[in-house]
């Protein structure tokens, strides 16, 4: 290489410039140059040497090579040959010069990024889990067995990165090697820098295609992992105790109309820390719909067998009442003084009211309701109303006591369906030993 530079330099003054400008064309005409004979002679000489060089011993060849390199005509020939080669080669390439961003590759990249395999290393935890948690509201992911998943994911991630690095390194090594080789050979072969560049491009493309394979298989691995661990749609995981508590509280304190609004669901989901943990396929199921599922199941199951839930209802009613004791009580009292009644808000009373004696209890539950309301920011009014209703209802119930329907009549038509369902109270009292255990019996 040094030789090369030196030679080029030393002879540069002679004719290199001229060649580079119109070299390709000049060559043919060069024959008629003033010093045509000498040049011809030289060329013949050189050609002869080239032809015979392979037969020589190594040393001789080396010597000759050096001789050739030092020849004053060498650079000129070289550049001319380069240009000719350039011209012929140009047609071949050019088409594939630019590599458009492969959509496939982009997809893979995106996915790896989303799964947390690519992207910046996060300490310990899998980026995927973090991302998922963040996406779903950021509650703590109560995944215990998810650690398994995360471990595997980390493993994949590590493999991916080491492999990627390896490829990168290999690519670089190979590239420099080839470049060196080409540069070396460019002393004896017509290889232009441009061509080297092109070669490098080709190499990079090759390696990137290999990388794509790596990415693809990584993606596959992640998918398999996912499907095995998280995706098992039917893999049921019970909610945490806390979560069911919260849901139940809401349910029983809104028993009259246990249809949480979107916001309420959102709120509940957040509160319950319901996150990815039970969402197998995040795309299809959101934690939001988990709450919906829960309420759907709860409603129907409650309705199906109210008696069975009596206990639970009382329990939660009491609980909420206790929890909210002060606030709720105060609120209720205050409101009691001045509120107009709006019949309808309904009552949580449905369950606890079962028996007349339950007034107290019902009140409690009511309080629970009001508490909840307060939490959400509901108005006092509603609480009052509910209270009144309960009371009136109890009264009504007393009347109807002998019969069945405990409070059925009160069905606020709006939610008649739900209310109606509760109607078969007779069932309750009949089947309900348990109910009586609590509060029933009394009168």
User: Is residue 426 part of the contact set for DNA (CB under 7 A)?
Assistant: no
Residue 329's CB: how many other CB atoms inside 10 A? 16
Residue 357 CB, shortest distance to DNA, in Å, is 26
Residue 267 CB, shortest distance to DNA, in Å, is 15
Among 78, 160, 229, 239, binds DNA (CB under 7 A): 239
Among 416, 417, 426, 430, binds DNA (CB under 7 A): 417
The residue among 287 and 389 lying less far from DNA, judged by its C-beta, is: 287
Count CA atoms closer than 13 A to 182's CA, side-chain side: 17
Per-residue binding letters, 307-326, with DNA (x by CB under 7 A):
-x------------------
Among 41, 259, 341, 430, binds DNA (CB under 7 A): 259
User: Is residue 228 part of the contact set for DNA (CB under 7 A)?
Assistant: no
Is the distance from CB of 93 to CB of 194 less than 8 angstroms? no
Per-residue binding letters, 264-283, with DNA (x by CB under 7 A):
--------------xxxx--
355 closest CA partner among 418, 400, 319 = 400
User: Is residue 142 part of the contact set for DNA (CB under 7 A)?
Assistant: no
Report the chain's C-alpha Rg in angstroms.
43
User: Is residue 427 part of the contact set for DNA (CB under 7 A)?
Assistant: no
Give the span between the Cα atoms of 75 and 94, in whole angstroms.
Answer: 27
Among 161, 198, 237, 271, binds DNA (CB under 7 A): 237
Residue 430 CB, shortest distance to DNA, in Å, is 18
User: Is residue 285 part of the contact set for DNA (CB under 7 A)?
Assistant: yes
User: Is residue 171 part of the contact set for DNA (CB under 7 A)?
Assistant: no
Is the distance from CB of 122 to CB of 130 less than 8 angstroms? yes
User: Is residue 78 part of the contact set for DNA (CB under 7 A)?
Assistant: no
367 closest CA partner among 338, 390, 400, 341 = 390
User: Is residue 229 part of the contact set for DNA (CB under 7 A)?
Assistant: no
The residue among 161 and 303 lying less far from DNA, judged by its C-beta, is: 303
Tell me the window of 57-65, 148-156, 237-245, 343-351 that interacts with DNA (CB under 7 A).
237-245
Among 151, 300, 322, 437, binds DNA (CB under 7 A): 300
Among 90, 102, 233, 403, binds DNA (CB under 7 A): 233
User: Is residue 241 part of the contact set for DNA (CB under 7 A)?
Assistant: no
Among 191, 418, 425, 439, binds DNA (CB under 7 A): 418
Give the span between the Cα atoms of 198 and 182, in whole angstroms.
Answer: 11
Residue 237 CB, shortest distance to DNA, in Å, is 6
Is the distance from CB of 346 to CB of 257 less than 8 angstroms? yes
User: Is residue 303 part of the contact set for DNA (CB under 7 A)?
Assistant: yes
Helices 146-185 and 193-229 meet at what angle, rounded to 10? 170
User: Is residue 33 part of the contact set for DNA (CB under 7 A)?
Assistant: no
The residue among 212 and 427 lying less far from DNA, judged by its C-beta, is: 427
Task: Using CB under 7 A, count the residues that bind DNA.
Answer: 31
Tell me the window of 33-41, 213-221, 285-293, 362-370 that interacts with DNA (CB under 7 A).
285-293
Among 284, 334, 336, 441, binds DNA (CB under 7 A): 284
Is the distance from CB of 57 to CB of 117 less than 8 angstroms? no
Residue 376 CB, shortest distance to DNA, in Å, is 16
The residue among 236 and 326 lying less far from DNA, judged by its C-beta, is: 236
CA–centroid distance for 70 within its chain: 63
User: Is residue 299 part of the contact set for DNA (CB under 7 A)?
Assistant: yes
Among 155, 213, 297, 333, binds DNA (CB under 7 A): 297
Query: Applying CB under 7 A, which residues contact DNA?
Result: 233-239, 244, 259, 262, 278-281, 284-285, 289-290, 292-294, 296-297, 299-301, 303, 308, 417-418, 421
């Amino acid at each position: 290489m040094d030789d090369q530079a030196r030679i080029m330099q030393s002879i540069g003054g002679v004719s290199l410039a001229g060649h580079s400008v119109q070299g390709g064309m000049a060559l043919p005409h060069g024959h008629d140059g003033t010093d045509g004979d000498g040049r011809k002679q030289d060329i013949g000489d050189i050609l002869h040497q080239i032809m015979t060089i392979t037969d020589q011993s190594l040393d001789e060849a080396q010597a000759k090579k050096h001789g050739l390199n030092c020849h004053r005509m060498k650079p000129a020939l070289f550049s001319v040959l380069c240009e000719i080669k350039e011209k012929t080669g140009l047609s071949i390439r050019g088409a594939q010069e630019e590599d458009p961003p492969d959509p496939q590759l982009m997809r893979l990249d995106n996915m790896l990024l989303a799964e947390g395999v690519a992207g910046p290393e996060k300490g310990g935890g899998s980026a995927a889990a973090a991302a998922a948690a963040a996406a779903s509201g950021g509650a703590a992911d109560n995944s215990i067995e998810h650690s398994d998943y995360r471990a595997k994911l980390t493993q994949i991630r590590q493999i991916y990165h080491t492999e990627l690095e390896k490829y990168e390194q290999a690519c670089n090594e190979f590239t420099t090697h080839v470049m060196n080789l080409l540069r070396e050979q460019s002393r004896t072969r017509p290889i232009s820098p441009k061509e080297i560049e092109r070669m490098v491009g080709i190499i990079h493309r090759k390696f990137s295609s290999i990388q794509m394979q790596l990415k693809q298989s990584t993606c596959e691995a992640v998918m398999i992992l996912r499907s095995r661990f998280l995706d098992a749609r039917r893999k049921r995981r019970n909610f945490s105790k806390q979560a069911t508590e919260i849901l139940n509280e809401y349910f029983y304190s809104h028993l009259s109309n246990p249809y949480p609004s979107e916001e309420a669901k959102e709120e509940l989901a957040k509160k319950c820390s319901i996150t990815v943990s039970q969402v197998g396929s995040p795309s299809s199921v959101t934690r939001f719909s988990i709450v919906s599922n829960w309420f759907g199941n709860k409603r129907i199951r409650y309705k199906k067998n109210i008696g069975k839930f009596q206990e639970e209802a009382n329990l939660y009613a009491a609980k909420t009442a206790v929890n909210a004791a002060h606030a709720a009580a105060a609120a209720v009292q205050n409101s009691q003084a001045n509120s107009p009644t709006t019949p309808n808000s309904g009552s949580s009373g449905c369950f606890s009211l079962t028996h007349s004696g339950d007034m107290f209890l019902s009140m409690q539950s009511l309080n629970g309701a009001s508490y909840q309301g307060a939490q959400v920011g509901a108005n006092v009014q509603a609480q009052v109303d509910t209270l009144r209703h309960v009371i009136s209802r109890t009264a009504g119930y007393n009347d109807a006591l002998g019969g069945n329907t405990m409070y059925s009549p009160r069905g606020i038509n709006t939610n008649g369906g739900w209310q109606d369902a509760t109607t078969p109270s007779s069932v309750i009292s009949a089947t309900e030993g348990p109910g009586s255990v609590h509060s029933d019996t009394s009168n």
